[in-house]
Amino acid sequence: MSERRCDVVVVGAGPAGLAAAVQASRAGAQVLLIDQSIRPGGQFWRHAAEEHDADPGRWHHGWSTYTALASELQAAVDAGDVEYLCGHHVVTAQQISPAQQIGSAQLQLTIQPVPELAAGARGLMTVRAPAVVLCPGAYDRQLPVPGWTLPGVMAAGGIQAFIKTQGVAPGRRAVLAGTGPFLLSAAASVLQAGGEVAAVCEAANLTGWVPRGAAAALVPSKGAEGAEYIRLLAKHRVPYLRRTAVTAIHGEHRAEAVTLSRLDSNGAVIEGKQRYLDDVDLVGLGWGFVPQSELVVQCGARTRVDVDGSLIGVVDVHQRSSVEGLYLAGEITGVAGATAAVVEGRIAGRAAAREAGYTTGGARQLAAAQRDKVLRVNHRAFAQAMHRAHPLPEGWESWMQQDTVVCRCEEVPYQRLKEAAQTLSAQEPRGLKGTTRTGMGWCQGRMCGTAASCVARRSGAEGAEESAVAVAKRPLAAPVRLADLAERDPSA
Ligand SMILES: Cc1cc2nc3c(=O)[nH]c(=O)nc-3n(C[C@H](O)[C@H](O)[C@H](O)COP(=O)(O)OP(=O)(O)OC[C@H]3O[C@@H](n4cnc5c(N)ncnc54)[C@H](O)[C@@H]3O)c2cc1C
C-alpha cells in the first residue's frame, strides 16, 4: 500500500472543496484534492457527458464562479502547488493516535481508485496530513411511496443530474413531488430540456415562510432565483399544488400515472381528497438532501441533528470540527446550497492552511475573510428558515401499503419493518438492519435510512441523534475489494 503526505487534504471537488483547495493553495500550502468524479464541480456544477459541449454553462447557476475556481485550480496544479486526484474514493478517515504520529500529521485517509474510472489501477493508498477539509456533499433524501420502484421514478436530484449530463429530460411528461425549493429548480430544468411538467406537488403549506421573511431577505439572490422558476412555471401553466403529495405511482412496467393527495397539517392523507393523474412517464421525488456524514462519523467528530432532521458535523466559525486538524465545509455542515458551500470552503481553506503553518495575513485577505463570515451567517439563517418552512410530513406513513418496498437493495417491505420494530424491539435503525436487512445492501441505507429511522423511532425510545448516527455509521465509505483489504498494512 503506497503512502503520500501533504499540508492540506481536501476531500470533494464540489463548490466547497474547490473553494477550499484554491484558498489553501493561495496561502502557500501544498494541497491534495481528492474526488471520486473524473471532473471537478460536484453535484451543482455537474458536467455534460459530451466533453466539447458548445455551451457548458447552459444548465447552471453561478457558472462564472465555477470557471474562475476551475482555472485557478488548474494554474495551481500546473505550478505543482495542488495535486488533483480525481476518480478516487476516500474510503476511510481517522485520527492518528499519538503512538503512530510521525511529524505534524494528525489525520489519515485511505483512498482507492474508482474501479470503473481507473482503467486497471487498483489498491489502497494512505494519505496523512496535518489538516483535512472534508467537503463530501449530500445525496437525495427519499421517502418511499407505493410504486416508487417503477422505471420512470427518479430522485429530483437525479433528474437534475441527468439533464446536466445528457442535455435532455429523462421523460416526456413529469410530476415533481416532495418538499423544498429544489422541486422548482428540477421542474424548470425539465421544461428547459423540452419536457412537460404536469404538476409540482409541495407537501408543505408555504405559510411557514411568513414568520421567516427577515431570514429569507438576508439572501436576496435566492428570492430572485425562486421568482425566475415561478415565472417559467407560470409561462408553461404548470400547477403548483401546496399541501399535496404523490401518494401512489401506477403502471404495469413503468410509471404511467400518479395519485395526488391533499395532506392535513400533519402531512397525513385526507381521505376523499385524492385525484388520479394519468399520462405521466416521469416522477421526480425530492425531500431535501442528506449530508454524506460517514467520514465525519469515522473520525469521531462531534455531530448533531439539524432542523431538517439530517446529521451534520458541528463546526466553529472557522469551520473547525471537534477533531484536531479536521475542517468541514458545504452540505456536510447543514444543507444550505452551493453559494454557502463556496463561502464555507473559502473559510475552511484559509483555516486549514493556518493549521498547517501558513499565514493568511494582509488587509485584503482580512477584509475578504470578514465578508465571508457575514455571508456564512446569512446563508445559514436562510437555510434554517427554508428547512423550517419545508418540513418532512410527519404523517408520510399514511400513504404506505403493507407491501410497499422500503429498502430497495434488500427488498424489505414496509410490513416487515413495522413488525420488526413493534415485536422484535428493533427500535433503532441498527436493530432493524440486523433483523430485516434494511440498509444492508449496496447503498448502505442511503435510500431507506430516513424512512427506517422514522419507523424505528415511532416504535422505540431512541432519539433522533442516535438514530441518525446509526444510519451514518459506515466503516467504509465505498465498497473495497477483499484482496485490497487483505494487502493492507494492519498497522496503518
Ligand atoms: C444529485 C444531486 C443534484 C443536485 N443538483 C443541484 C442543482 O441542480 N441545483 C442546486 O441548487 N443544488 C443541487 N444539489 C444540491 C447541491 O449538492 C449543493 O447545493 C452543492 O453542490 C453543495 O456543494 P458541496 O461542495 O457541499 O457538495 P457537492 O457538490 O455534492 O460535492 C461533493 C463532492 O465530494 C465528492 N465525494 C463525496 N464523497 C466522497 C468520497 N468518499 N471520496 C471522494 N470524493 C467524494 C463527490 O464526488 C462530489 O464531487 C444537488 C444535489 C444532489 C445530491
The reported pLDDT for the residue numbered 60 is: 80
Residue 317's Cβ-count burial label (10 Å; 0-12, 13-18, 19+) is exposed
- Do 35 and 121 lie in one domain? The reply is yes
How many CB atoms sit inside 10 A of residue 385's CB?
22
Instruction: Provide mean pLDDT across the span 45-72.
Output: 82
- Do 344 and 301 lie in one domain? The reply is yes
Residue 363 pLDDT more than 60? yes
Kindly give the distance from the C-alpha atom of residue 138 to the centroid of ligand 1, in angstroms, as a whole number.
6
- Do 24 and 78 lie in one domain? The reply is yes
In 114-202 the beta strands, taken as DSSP E runs, fall at 125-129, 131-134, 138-140, 153-155, 173-178, 196-202
Kindly give the distance from the C-alpha atom of residue 237 to the centroid of ligand 1, in angstroms, as a whole number.
31
Q: Which residue has the higher pLDDT, 461 or 486?
A: 486
Q: Which of 253, 286, 319 is the last residue of a domain?
A: 286
Instruction: Provide mean pLDDT across the span 410-437.
Output: 85
Q: Is residue 372 a part of any domain in this protein?
A: no
Q: Which of 286, 320, 340 is the last residue of a domain?
A: 286
Q: Is residue 491 a part of any domain in this protein?
A: no
Domain residues for the domain of 352 are: 2-138+289-360
Nearest protein Cα to ligand 1, atom 24: 137
Instruction: Provide mean pLDDT across the span 407-419.
Output: 94
The reported pLDDT for the residue numbered 291 is: 97
- Do 341 and 209 lie in one domain? The reply is no
Instruction: Provide mean pLDDT across the span 45-73.
Output: 83
- Do 56 and 134 lie in one domain? The reply is yes
- Do 11 and 123 lie in one domain? The reply is yes
Q: Is residue 210 a part of any domain in this protein?
A: yes
Residue 315 pLDDT more than 80? yes
- Cα Rg, the chain, nearest whole Å: 22
Residue 427 pLDDT more than 70? no
Euclidean distance between the first and final Cα of the chain, in Å?
A: 9
Of ligand 1's listed atoms, the one at least distance from the Cα of 111 is 42
Which mutation among 9, 11, 43 tests ligand 1's pocket best, with the greatest number of atoms within 8 A of CB?
43
- Do 10 and 108 lie in one domain? The reply is yes
- Do 27 and 82 lie in one domain? The reply is yes
Q: Is residue 211 a part of any domain in this protein?
A: yes
- Which residues partner with 199 through β-bridges? 175
Q: Is residue 390 a part of any domain in this protein?
A: no
Residue 370's Cβ-count burial label (10 Å; 0-12, 13-18, 19+) is exposed
Between the alpha carbon of residue 76 and those of residues 22, 281, 315, 348, the distances in Å are: 8, 46, 28, 18
Kindly give the distance from the C-alpha atom of residue 193 to the centroid of ligand 1, in angstroms, as a whole number.
21
Where on the phi/psi map is residue 114: left (φ > 0), alpha (ψ -120 to 50), or beta?
beta
Between the alpha carbon of residue 34 and those of residues 8, 115, 120, the distances in Å are: 11, 15, 19
Kindly give the distance from the C-alpha atom of residue 167 to the centroid of ligand 1, in angstroms, as a whole number.
19
* Ligand 1 site, CB within 6 A: 11-17, 34-37, 42-44, 89-90, 135-140, 157-158, 160-161, 185, 289, 292, 330-331, 337-338, 341, 477
Kindly give the distance from the C-alpha atom of residue 89 to the centroid of ligand 1, in angstroms, as a whole number.
14
- Do 23 and 118 lie in one domain? The reply is yes
Report yes or no: 10 and 31 within 8 Å, Cβ to Cβ: yes
- Which residues partner with 35 through β-bridges? 86
The reported pLDDT for the residue numbered 4 is: 67
Kindly give the distance from the C-alpha atom of residue 371 to the centroid of ligand 1, in angstroms, as a whole number.
24
The reported pLDDT for the residue numbered 461 is: 53
- Do 274 and 317 lie in one domain? The reply is no
Kindly give the distance from the C-alpha atom of residue 247 to the centroid of ligand 1, in angstroms, as a whole number.
28
- Do 148 and 131 lie in one domain? The reply is no
Kindly give the distance from the C-alpha atom of residue 135 to the centroid of ligand 1, in angstroms, as a whole number.
9
Of ligand 1's listed atoms, the one at least distance from the Cα of 12 is 34
Q: How many domains does the chain have?
A: 3
Which mutation among 9, 11, 36, 44 tests ligand 1's pocket best, with the greatest number of atoms within 8 A of CB?
44
Residue 52 pLDDT more than 60? no
The reported pLDDT for the residue numbered 57 is: 75
Kindly give the distance from the C-alpha atom of residue 141 to the centroid of ligand 1, in angstroms, as a whole number.
13
The reported pLDDT for the residue numbered 471 is: 83
Task: Concatenate the DSSP letters of all residues of 177-226 into one string.
Answer: EESSTHHHHHHHHHHHTT-EEEEEEE-S-GGGGGGGHHHHHT-HHHHHHH
As a whole number, the mean pLDDT across the chain is: 91
Residue 2 pLDDT more than 60? no
Task: Phi first, then psi: give them for residue 183, nearest 5 degrees.
Answer: -60, -35
- Distance between CA 232 and CA 40 in Å, rounded? 29
How many CB atoms sit inside 10 A of residue 359's CB?
11
Nearest protein Cα to ligand 1, atom 6: 44
Q: Which of 286, 307, 335 is the last residue of a domain?
A: 286
How many CB atoms sit inside 10 A of residue 411's CB?
12
Beta strands 2-5 and 405-407 are: unpaired
Q: Is residue 312 a part of any domain in this protein?
A: yes
User: What confidence tier does 56 reach under pLDDT thresholds 50, 70, 90?
Assistant: confident
What are the tens digits of pLDDT across the range 178-189?
999 999 999 999
What are the tens digits of pLDDT across the range 71-129?
999 999 999 999 999 999 999 999 998 777 777 779 999 999 998 776 667 789 999 99
Nearest protein Cα to ligand 1, atom 38: 136
How many CB atoms sit inside 10 A of residue 364's CB?
8
- Distance between CA 149 and CA 139 in Å, rounded? 18
Whichever domain contains 33, its CATH number is 3.50.50.60
Residue 339 contacts by C-beta under 8 Å, 6 or more apart in sequence?
15, 62, 219, 221, 375, 379
Q: Is residue 478 a part of any domain in this protein?
A: no
Whichever domain contains 446, its CATH number is 1.10.10
How crowded is the C-beta side of 471, counted as CA atoms within 13 Å? 37
The reported pLDDT for the residue numbered 387 is: 97
Instruction: Provide mean pLDDT across the span 22-41.
Output: 96
CA 310 vs. chain centroid, Å, equals 10
The reported pLDDT for the residue numbered 155 is: 98
Nearest protein Cα to ligand 1, atom 52: 157
Nearest protein Cα to ligand 1, atom 13: 44
- Distance between CA 271 and CA 277 in Å, rounded? 17
Report yes or no: 175 and 282 within 8 Å, Cβ to Cβ: yes
Of ligand 1's listed atoms, the one at least distance from the Cα of 44 is 21
Residue 359 pLDDT more than 90? no
The reported pLDDT for the residue numbered 492 is: 59
pLDDT over 70 percentage in the chain: 94
Q: Is residue 366 a part of any domain in this protein?
A: no
The reported pLDDT for the residue numbered 248 is: 98
What are the tens digits of pLDDT across the range 237-292?
999 999 999 999 999 999 999 999 999 999 999 999 999 999 999 999 999 999 99
The reported pLDDT for the residue numbered 433 is: 86
- Do 84 and 168 lie in one domain? The reply is no
Element holding 165 (H helix, E strand): helix 156-166
What are the tens digits of pLDDT across the range 135-173?
999 999 999 999 999 999 999 999 999 999 998 999 999
The reported pLDDT for the residue numbered 347 is: 98
